[in-house]
Structure 1
Amino acid sequence: MFGVSNWLVAATVVLATAVYGIFKVVYMRTRFRGLPQPPKHSWIWGHTTIWEELAATLPPFTHPQHVYTLMARKYDMPGVFYVDMWPFVESQVVITDPDAARLVLATTPYYPKHPTIERFLRPFTGPGSIAASNGDRWRYNHRMVGSGFSPSHVKPMAGMIAEQVLVFHDRLRRLAAAAEPFSMEEESAKTVFDVIGKIVFGVSLEAQRSGSPLLEDLRASINPATTFIGTRNPWKRRAAEKSLRALRARVRETLAGEMRERLRVLQDEKELPSRRQAKSVLDRIVLDRIQSGQGATLDDEFIDTAVTK
């Protein structure tokens, strides 16, 4: 039988939860008071209603950054302002002023990346990607792949980039001559993928000319990853997670095969090139492994780390 003491405990828990909830709401809704923020701030919805109103004026699936741009222009916001979206998403400080953004990026030690970035990217990349990591993990990731995209490494590839743009130009001419609808986003994605493929693998993946299974797998991950992030339905999340696992496994198999092939080629070289002489990001990754003294093999842990980047 539920005694008086049990009722008191239950009532105390309910009251404490209610008091905590009230204080939490008051704190979250007042912490930006006196700071620059859009108008129409609601005690119930925060700035969510303004966000939805502005997003409704843009085409479907528009990148969220455009909503912030529209918000800043419509309400004449300063270069730094605050947006309260709690509890639907984390509240944010929005920086549109270049000098303020440069100050943030130049601060030492660097501001850590917010955990929300990791939660958002994990369905696409797995844990610990360079875009979401901090500290020693970020430095390790950056050494592994980041320098391959530095201006000093990419600048000599201007000729290769121009060649891929010419292929893109030729495709657009033929598509225009056919007078049939086509996806500009899809065609431009193929061009970018061929350029990135050349930087990462040292060879073009020929997505523009013949199509790339790797690109198709990466593009196919967007819908289930978005579902996994956005839905609270456990069945939809389970189906999306299963689809993502299958896609990531195929991508991993493709990249692992490329890494093992580069390992074989580099081991056949009479003299190993330096990191500066490496022709691709993939070569830098494999060279790091060879020169680390951990053996001339690529174990599963190393491959998983490299693929996650």
Structure 2
Amino acid sequence: MTSRVFIDGAAGTTGLEIRDRLTGRPEFELVVLGDDERKDPSARRAALNEADFAILCLPDKAAREAVALIENDRVRVIDASSAHRVTEGWTYGFPEIVGRDAIAKARFVSNPGCYPTGFIGLVAPLVRAGLLPRDWPFTVHAVSGYSGGGKALIDRFGAEGDIAWRAYGFDLAHKHLPEMQEHAGLAHPVIFSPSVIPAFRGMAVEVPLHLGAMNGGPDALRLEDALAEFYAGSKIVTVSRDHDRSELLIREGAEPTDAMQLHVFGNEAGYHARLVATLDNLGKGASGAAVQSLNLMAGLDETEGLRLPA
């Protein structure tokens, strides 16, 4: 059976990447509006209500408005904005964390943010296992390709060709903070230090840990084992066991990928560890995650149409 999919905001970076992953797949029929219809409320309302699945690739306010345009209880929604990530009645679209069945049965799914995907992917399983305390003062450092900032930041990096590094979030009130805290199961907000580099895609999210300051704190190998067990069998999230690795790279011309790899680095004394997630901010951090959820909601294998290592 073919499902009709309407991508509201299909002309944006995330929407284009989702469309690319769905094009040519017989399971889905894309509902496409012309250039003159995309901002026409009546045309959007009709498309939203005729679809089986609506994927919202919009700013937060516009995403809320799009949901309000849906006039039936049949259309199922994936929201790629941050509007509903901690909203009651919405299922968080991270199948590995919330469970694949929860996504498959949900009507409203909120796509995770790219930075939270790395942080939650690292921390949530370890907090659940009791290996990291939920009331620990977590810090997360992250660097992303500039495509994560949308059209405005893409244009800025193109116009200002000399930007080598852009740090932001110095008001300590980044919109990802509630999402990170809630879905990692933490007692306190994290200190989040995001930055952007002159690469189109790719990101690294790091959580440094002072294990020696934790009561009965585990060593790095135990953390790595727990993550490997949690993600065992996943074709999308994997745990590196390369203990000789001395560096991680984000390449300027990186190919798209919907995979995420987790790394645990520890010192010989066992007091310190660095947890690092490497992923594509447009893949598992955005469009790939949306397609993964769509697959599950449509009763398909979650990896269909995804770009994954052979």
Normalized against structure 2, the TM-score is what?
0.27
Higher relative contact order (CA 8 A, sep 6+): 2
Counting strand residues as a fraction of each chain, which structure ranks higher?
A: 2
Compare the two structures and name the one with the higher helix fraction.
Answer: 1
